[in-house]
Amino acid sequence: MSNKSKAISITRRLEFDAGHRIPNHDGQCKHLHGHRYAIEVTLTGVIANHPGQADDGMLLDFGDIKRLTNQYVVEPWDHAFLVAKEDVALVAFLNSLPDHKTVVMDSVPTVENLGNAAFAILEPIFAKAFAGSLQLTSLRLYETPNCWVDITQS
């Protein structure tokens, strides 16, 4: 028998729309614009051996990944404008719009920073919800079909 260990991961993809700008960008991205973002959440763990139970043969039901990712990232960011706190003129403008959905970020909303922020939000959520039996090990965030970031943690 092999001594090699296997890591088993599952991934759930969700999509959302959001606006942003990169205020000091030297090209088009300094302008207000939006993207159809796609987030792919990858969890690593052990396959449940629970004969007769709903989760038998699963690391985790994909529906649970969807529910938590929706609750903590997708719903807060969907149809929001993601603005850096340092982008003070734009923050002031967005705050002047009645009932506008604005999310003020600690850093410029590049796909790298947004992916990092999403990972920081979700990592403790999955760790807490599943008592350490599953770990968020990777998160991919697409800004466009051609541009994405990968955040990984072993």
Ligand X SMILES: Nc1nc2c(c(=O)[nH]1)N=C([C@H](O)[C@H](O)COP(=O)(O)OP(=O)(O)OP(=O)(O)O)CN2
Q: Which residues bind ligand X (CB under 6 A)?
A: 22, 29, 35, 110-112, 143-144, 146-147
Q: Provide, rounded to whole angstroms, the least separation between the CB of residue 81 and Zn ion.
A: 12
| Of residues 29 and 58, the one with the C-beta less far from Zn ion | 29
Beta bridge partners of 83: 104
Q: Looking at residues 22 to 81 of the shown chain, list those that interact with Zn ion (rule: CB under 5 A).
A: 29
- From the candidates 25, 50, 79, 100, which is the catalytic residue? 79
- State the binding partner of 112 from Zn ion, ligand X, none, CB within 5 to 8 A by kind: ligand X
Q: How far apart are the first and last CA of the chain?
A: 25
Q: Which of 11, 66, 62, 15 is nearest to 37 (CA)?
A: 15
Q: Which C-beta is closer to Zn ion: that of 12 or that of 21?
A: 21
Q: Output 43 or 141, the one with its CB closest to ligand X.
A: 141
Taking the C-alpha atoms of residue 109 and residue 121, their distance in angstroms, rounded to an integer, is 15
Q: How far apart are CA 20 and CA 111, in angstroms?
A: 10
